[in-house]
Structure 1
Amino acid sequence: MSTRRIVAVTLAVAVLTTTTGCIGFLTGEESLTFAAEPAGVDESAAQSAGYATDGPRVVEVNETFTVAGEERRVVAKNQVNTYEKTLDLGIFEAKLGVFTVISSPAVEIAGRTLNPIGDYSNRELVGLVQSRYQGLSDVDEVSSQTITVQGQETQVTKYAAVANVEGQEVDVYVHVTKYRDGEDFIVAVGVYPQQLGGEEGNVLSMMRAIEHPV
C-alpha cells in the first residue's frame, strides 16, 4: 500500500472516530474543512527588497475517503501569497524574481498531524513552486544555512536549477524553508536568475520578515 493511501486510510478512520459532533460530516451531507491563516512578508521588508503582491489567495485541496463503503470528504484550505519583482537579464526583462509564502493547515485529528507537508524535505518542497517559473529541472543542492523566522530557527536550503521562462532556459537559484507556526505549516520559496546573485540577500531578508497571520 502506498504512503499516500496509508495516510488517507488513517485520516479517514481518525475522522470518523473523532467527529461525533459533526453530524453533517458523518452523514455525508457536509465536508470536514481545515483552513490555514494567511502568511506574508512584512510590507516594509517586501518594498525594500523591491517585491509586490496582490495578496493571498485560497487554494483548496479536496480528498474523498471511503470507509465501510461510505464516502466522506475532507477539505484543506491553503493560503498562497506570491510576491514578484521585475528583473532585467539584458536580453529580456520580466518578473523573474518570485517569492511565494504558503500556509497549510496541519490537519490534526486524534492527536495526529496528517498533512504530508509536515514530512516533506526542502528538496520535495521545490515541487510546490507554481509561478512564472515552470518545468524546473536539474535541481541540485548548493548550500544550507539556518535563519530565525518568527522567533524560531529554520533551515534554508539553496538549490541550483534550470527553468523555462517564456520559451527560454534560465539558470536559477531556489531557496526553500519550512516551519510550523501554531496550527499551520509555513513554506517559503524564493526563485531568481543565477546571474543576479544579489537577489539572495533580498530573498533571505523576506524570509526573516514573514508574518503569520497577516
Structure 2
Amino acid sequence: MYRRRLLGAVAASGAVAAAGCLGGEDGTYEFDAEPARVPDAALSEAGYEGEGPQSFEIEQTFEVAGIEGRVSATSWVASYENPERASSLLVASTPNATVAGQSVNPLVRADGAELLRRLLEQGGSGGVDGGSVGDLEEVGTETRTILESETTVTTFATEIRFEDVGDAPVDTEGSVPALIHVATVEHGEDVLVLVGVHPRAIEEGETQGALMEAVEH
C-alpha cells in the first residue's frame, strides 16, 4: 500500500501530460509531441519497470498578444517504478509551441518549484492517491547530460502525508519524507519534463539521474 501511494503522488500522470500544450496561429491548431522513453536495458539494470509512453489529448482556448484561438495537442507520458525501493520516474513530452514569437507552454515558463507543484497538483488532491504533498524545499542541484544537453536537475525535499498510513514507514503524523528530482529539457520541437521521487531514507538519486541521462526521444 505504501509503495503504491508514494508512487501515486507523482505518477498520476494523465493530466500531467496535458499540462503545457499550446501553439499555432489564429484559429484552431493541432500539435503533436514525440514520445520519450527510457530504454528497456537501462530500466532492467536499475531494477525499474513500467509501460511505454501513453498519449493524452487536450483542447483549450488561449490568448497571447491579442491573438485568440483554440489548440488541440497530443502529449506523452511514461511512468516507471522500482517497487522494492518505493521509487518512481516520470518522463513526459509536450509540444513546445509559440504564438506571436512567445512561448505559451507553462512548463517552459515555470521555475523549478512552480513546475514541480503543477505536476504534483494536477487533478487536485486526488492525484496524490490518498495523501497530499507538503511544502517544497530546494535542497540541491546538479548538472546532467540529457539528450546531449547540459541540463540542471533540481532536488526538492518534501513530505507526503497520508490519512490512512497502514503499514507505511511514516512518522507519528502519518507522513513520508521524500526527495523529488526534476529536470526540463528542450529537444527538437518538444519540451521534456523528467521527475523522480523516492523516500528520503533511500539513496536513489544517482540511479534516477542515470535513468534521466538514458532517456530517448
TM over 0.5: yes
More strand by share: 1
Task: Choose from 98, 103, 117 the match for 2:88.
Answer: 98
Is 1:50 matched with 2:40? no
Give 1:136 shift.
Answer: 1.3
Give 1:179 shift.
Answer: 0.9
Task: Choose from 12, 19, 25 the match for 1:15.
Answer: 25
Q: Per-residue displacement from partner, 1:25-51 (whole Å, max 9, x unpaired)?
A: x5xxxx421111000112211111111
Q: Per-residue displacement from partner, 1:75-107 (whole Å, max 9, x unpaired)?
A: 12111111011136xxxxxxx211000101011
Task: Choose from 98, 102, 108 the match for 1:108.
Answer: 98
Give 1:66 shift.
Answer: 7.8
Q: Is the 8 A contact 1:98 1:131 kept in 2?
A: no
Matching residue of 2:188: 182
Matching residue of 1:82: 79
Could you tell me the TM-score, scaled by structure 1's length? 0.74
Give 1:166 shift.
Answer: 7.5
Is 1:152 matched with 2:152? no
Segments of structure 2 that go 5 or more residues without pairing to the other structure are 1-21, 121-126, 166-174
Q: Is the 8 A contact 1:133 1:163 kept in 2?
A: no
Give 1:164 shift.
Answer: 3.4
For CA contacts below 8 A with separation 6 or more, give which structure has more relative contact order: 2
- Whichever of the two has the greater Rg, that structure is 1
Task: Choose from 137, 140, 143 the match for 1:140.
Answer: 137
Matching residue of 2:216: 211
Q: Report % sequence identity.
A: 34
Matching residue of 1:3: none
Q: How many residues align?
A: 177
Q: Secondary structure at the match of 2:83?
A: strand
Q: Is the 8 A contact 2:196 2:208 kept in 1?
A: yes
Give 1:113 shift.
Answer: 2.8
Structure 1 runs (4+) greater than 4 angstroms displaced: 130-134
RMSD: 2.5
Is 1:37 matched with 2:34? yes
Give 1:110 shift.
Answer: 4.4
Q: Secondary structure at the match of 2:205?
A: helix
When residues 203 and 146 of structure 1 are mapped into structure 2, their CA distance, relative to the original with a 3 A threshold, is: same
Q: Which amino acid aligns with 1:182?
A: G
Q: Is the 8 A contact 2:94 2:191 kept in 1?
A: yes
> Hey, what's the Cα distance between the residues in 2 that align with 1:166 and 1:100?
24
